[in-house]
C-alpha cells in the first residue's frame, strides 16, 4: 500500500518498520514531526526529553541495552547533542543507533545556517541524505543495517524541503528485532583514556571500510546521459537540479554524503568535460573532490549562503531563468507577530516601558524584538539569555543589574536555562530572570514539556514545580504575575529590579491558542471617546488597527485579553457594545 507522507512522517515509518524500540527527542523545526509521528506507533516507546543532549544519551543507553534506538533534532540541536555523539562514535553500538538532524538552509525557523555534514566529518560517522519521502523511509531502515554492521551510530540528514514535502511511500510491515544481549565490556563502553586511545584507530579503520561500502552502494547513483557536463548533488538539491537541467547533463546522485564514494566521483569525472558540484551551504563535496585531484566547479559558481531553487541553479549554470507570469499587484508585507491574546505581549510592553536591557532567548517570545515592542536586545541560543545576563551584569556592575532582565520560556528554561540560573545564584549577580510560562512548548507546535504535567501521548505525569526548582538552586526571591495585568507586572518588575539579590519572576498564563483556554468576548471601541492617539497600537496586537482616524478592533481576531484597555487614556476600549 502506498501513502502520501511528509519526509518526517516517512522517517517515522522507517523507524516502525525497522523495529526501533526507543525514541527520545527534543522538538525543533524542521525535525519535530518525526517524533510526533513515531509516537502514533504503539510498538515504539517515544518521549520528549528535556534537551537534545539528554535525548542522545537516552538513545545511547537504549543501544547499550540491545535495542534499536533513535533521536531527532534540528541542526542547532545537534550542537547540544555533540558531546555524547562524538564519544559514541568511539564506543559504537549494541543495538543500532540513528540520529536524524534536520538542517534549515534559508533560515526558515532558525538563528543560523549550519551544515551538519561537518559533524559527520568531525565525529567520523556515516551520514545518509534522502532526497524524497520514499528515501526517508528506505534510508532510515538502511541506517540501522549500517549501524549494526559497522558498529557505529549513523547520522540521517534532512533539510527543510525534504522534511516538509510530501511524496508517495510504499508501506511494509514491521520487522521485530529481539533485544541483543548485554555483555559487560569496559574496554568497549567505558571511555577512559587507556580504552579510548585504541578506539581512535578502530574508528579510522571503520571509515575506510565505510568508504569502500559507499563506492559500491546503490544509494549513490550514477546517471549517465552521455553529456559533456556532469553534476554531483544530494538531497533536495538533486531534485532542483533535475528539474532545472533535465537530461542535458549527467548526474551522480549521492545518498551517502560521508564517507563520499571516491571511485564513483572519479568515474563521472572521466565521462565529462566539465563537472559541477551543487550543494547548499558549505563546500563539503567540492573540497573532497579537489583534495583528491578532481577538477570541479562549486562555490565559484553557486552561492555559499541561503537555500537553492531551480531558478538559482539555472541562473548560476545557464545565466538565465525562464520567464514567469507575474500578478500586477503588490502583496502586502506580513511580518511574523505574536498572536492575539499572547500572554507575552503585556510583559514585553512593561519591559519596554521600563526601558530595561532584555537578554532574549529562543521561542515565540523572540518576536518581542520586533516593532512596535522592540523589547529584546540580544538573542544567541537556547538557554543563553540567563547566562548572558549574568555576564552582562558582572561586566557593567550594580547600575546594570537594576536595569536589565533575562526572558526565557518554560520549555527553554528546562532545556538549558537551569544551569545559567545556578550560575547566577552561585556567583551572585543581582540578576532578574523572567520565566515566560505559557504552559506549553509553543514555537514548535504545542509539544508537552516537563513543566506541563503531560507526556508526549498526553498522559498525566509529574510536572516540574518552577517555583520550587528556582528556590532549590538558591534563588530566594521568586514571584508570580499575570501578564494580562499590566499594573501587577509593572509593580513586580520594579520591586525585583530594586532588590539587592538575584530573583526570578514567573510570568504565568497559558498560550492563547491552547484548546482548553476559554476566551472572553471581543472588545469594542467607543468611537465617541476615541481621540485617535494610537496609544493602543503600542502593544502590536494584530486585532487593533486605525480606520478613519479612530481605533478599530477586529472581532474575528480579538480574544478579549484586556491588555489594550489599560493603554487607552480615554477608556475608549470596553467589553460592552456602546448603545446608540
- pLDDT band at residue 327 under the 50/70/90 scheme: low
- Determine how β-strand 274-277 pairs with β-strand 378-379: unpaired
> What pLDDT, on the 0 to 100 scale, is given for residue 322?
73
Residue intervals in the chain for CATH 3.30.70.20: 524-574
Spatial CA neighbour of 230 closest among 185, 272, 278, 184: 272
| pLDDT the model gives residue 89 | 98
In CATH, what is the architecture of 221-318? 3-Layer(aba) Sandwich (3.40)
Pairing status of strand 229-234 against strand 250-254:
parallel
CB 420 within 8 A of CB 383: yes
Mean pLDDT, rounded, for 32-44:
98
Residue 580 has pLDDT above 60, yes or no: no
Q: What is the CA angle 170-139-236, rounded to 5?
A: 90
pLDDT, tens digit (0-9, with 9 covering 90-100), for 108-155: 889 999 999 999 999 999 999 999 999 999 999 999 999 999 999 999
Q: What is the pLDDT of residue 321?
A: 76
pLDDT band at 579 (very low <50, low <70, confident <90, very high): very low
Q: What is the mean pLDDT of the chain?
A: 95
Report yes or no: 127 and 256 within 8 Å, Cβ to Cβ.
yes
Query: Which of 563, 550, 489, 483 has the alpha carbon at shortest distance from 523?
Result: 563
Provide mean pLDDT across the span 30-41. Answer: 97
Q: What is the mean pLDDT of residues 432-447?
A: 95
Q: Where in the chain is the domain with CATH 3.40.50.970?
A: 2-216, 343-508
Q: Which CATH architecture has domain 343-508?
A: 3-Layer(aba) Sandwich (3.40)
Looking at the chain, the domain(s) classified CATH 3.40.50.920 span 221-318
Fold classified for 2-216 = Rossmann fold (3.40.50)
Cβ pair 541, 564 in contact under 8 A: yes
| H-helix or E-strand spanning residue 45 | strand 45-48
What pLDDT digit, counting tens, does each position of 342-377 carry? 999 999 999 999 999 999 999 999 999 999 999 999
State the DSSP H helix or E strand holding residue 39, giving kind and residue range, or none if neither.
none
For residue 71, give the C-alpha cell: 533521536
131 close to 253: Cβ distance less than 8 angstroms: yes
Tell me the Cα Rg of the chain.
27
Across 126-280, the runs of DSSP E, i.e. the strands, are 127-128, 154-159, 166-170, 221-223, 229-234, 250-254, 256-258, 274-277
pLDDT reading at 454 higher than 60 = yes
Q: How confident is the model at residue 325 (pLDDT cuts 50, 70, 90)?
A: low
DSSP-based three-state secondary structure for 166? strand
Q: Is the pLDDT of residue 498 over 90?
A: yes
Question: Read out DSSP for 6-35?
Answer: EHHHHHHHHHHHTT--EEEE---TTSHHHH
- Predicted local distance difference test score (pLDDT) of residue 324: 66
Q: List pLDDT tens digits, range 377-415.
A: 999 999 999 999 999 999 999 889 999 999 999 999 999
Burial of 187 (0-12, 13-18, 19+ CB in 10 A): exposed
For the cut 50, the answer to whether the pLDDT of residue 92 exceeds it is yes
Q: Domain 524-574: which topology?
A: Alpha-Beta Plaits (3.30.70)
Amino acid at each position: 500500500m502506498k501513502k502520501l507522507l511528509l519526509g518526517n512522517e516517512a522517517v517515522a515509518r522507517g523507524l516502525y518498520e525497522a523495529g526501533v524500540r526507543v525514541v527520545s527527542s527534543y522538538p525543533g523545526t524542521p525535525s519535530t514531526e518525526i517524533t510526533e509521528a513515531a509516537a502514533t506507533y504503539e510498538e515504539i516507546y517515544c518521549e520528549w526529553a528535556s534537551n537534545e543532549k539528554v535525548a542522545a544519551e537516552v538513545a545511547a543507553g537504549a543501544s547499550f541495552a540491545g535495542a534499536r534506538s533513535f533521536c531527532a533534532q534540528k541542526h542547532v540541536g545537534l550542537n547540544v547533542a555533540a558531546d555524547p555523539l562524538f564519544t559514541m562514535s568511539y564506543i559504537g553500538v549494541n543495538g543500532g543507533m540513528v540520529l536524524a538532524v534536520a538542517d534549515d538552509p534559508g533560515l526558515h525557523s532558525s538563528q543560523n545556517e549550519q551544515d551538519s555534514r561537518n559533524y559527520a566529518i568531525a565525529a567520523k560517522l556515516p551520514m545518509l541524505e534522502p532526497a524524497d519521502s520514499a528515501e526517508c523511509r528506505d534510508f532510515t531502515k538502511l541506517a540501522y543495517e549500517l549501524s549494526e554492521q559497522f558498529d557505529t551510530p549513523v547520522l540521517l540528514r534532512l533539510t527543510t524541503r525534504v522534511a516538509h514535502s510530501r511524496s508517495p511511500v510504499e508501506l511494509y510491515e514491521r520487522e521485530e528485532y529481539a533485544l541483543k544481549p548485554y555483555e559487560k565490556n569496559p574496554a568497549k563502553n567505558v571511555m577512559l583514556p587507556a580504552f579510548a586511545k585504541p578506539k581512535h584507530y578502530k574508528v579510522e579503520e571503520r571509515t575506510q571500510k565505510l568508504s569502500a561500502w559507499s563506492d559500491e552502494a546503490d544509494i549513490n547513483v550514477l546517471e549517465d546521459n552521455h553529456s559533456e557536463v556532469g553534476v554531483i548533488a544530494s538531497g533536495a538539491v538533486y531534485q532542483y537540479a533535475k528539474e532545472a537541467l533535465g537530461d542535458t547533463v549527467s548526474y551522480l546522485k549521492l545518498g551517502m554524503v560521508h564517507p563520499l564514494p571516491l571511485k564513483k566521483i572519479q568515474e563521472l569525472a572521466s565521462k565529462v568535460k566539465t563537472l559541477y558540484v551543487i550543494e547548499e551551504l558549505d563546500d563539503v563535496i567540492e573540497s573532497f573532490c579537489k583534495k583528491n585531484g578532481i577538477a570541479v566547479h562549486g562555490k565559484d559558481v553557486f552561492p555559499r549562503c541561503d537555500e537553492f531553487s531551480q531558478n538559482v541553479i539555472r541562473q548560476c549554470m545557464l545565466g538565465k531563468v525562464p520567464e514567469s507570469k507575474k500578478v500586477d499587484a503588490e502583496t502586502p508585507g506580513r511580518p511574523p507577530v505574536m498572536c492575539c491574546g499572547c500572554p507575552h505581549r503585556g510583559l514585553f510592553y512593561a519591559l519596554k516601558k521600563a526601558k530595561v536591557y532584555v537578554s532574549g532567548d529562543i521561542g515565540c517570545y523572540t518576536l518581542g524584538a520586533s516593532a512596535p515592542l522592540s523589547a529584546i536586545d540580544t538573542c544567541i541560543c537556547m538557554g543563553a539569555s540567563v547566562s548572558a545576563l549574568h555576564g552582562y551584569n558582572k561586566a557593567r556592575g550594580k547600575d546594570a543589574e537594576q536595569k536589565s532582565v533575562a526572558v526565557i520560556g518554560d520549555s527553554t528554561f528546562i532545556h538549558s536555562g537551569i544551569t545559567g540560573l545556578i550560575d547566577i545564584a552561585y556567583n551572585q549577580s543581582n540578576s532578574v530572570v523572567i520565566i515566560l510560562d505559557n504552559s506549553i512548548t509553543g514555537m514548535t507546535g504545542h509539544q508537552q514539556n516537563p513543566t506541563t504535567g503531560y507526556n508526549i501521548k498526553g498522559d498525566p505525569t509529574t510536572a516540574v514545580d518552577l517555583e520550587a526548582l528556582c528556590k532549590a538552586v538558591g534563588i530566594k526571591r521568586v514571584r508570580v504575575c499575570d501578564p494580562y495585568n499590566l499594573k501587577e507586572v509593572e509593580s513586580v518588575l520594579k520591586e525585583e529590579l530594586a532588590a539587592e539579590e538575584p530573583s526570578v519572576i514567573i510570568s504565568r498564563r497559558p498560550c492563547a491558542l491552547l484548546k482548553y483556554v476559554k476566551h472572553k468576548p471581543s472588545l469594542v471601541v467607543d468611537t465617541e471617546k476615541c481621540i485617535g492617539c494610537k496609544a493602543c497600537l503600542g502593544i502590536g496586537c494584530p486585532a487593533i488597527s486605525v480606520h478613519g482616524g479612530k481605533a478599530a478592533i477586529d472581532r474575528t481576531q480579538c480574544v478579549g485579553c484586556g491588555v489594550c484597555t489599560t493603554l487607552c487614556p480615554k477608556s475608549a476600549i470596553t467589553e460592552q457594545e456602546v448603545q446608540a
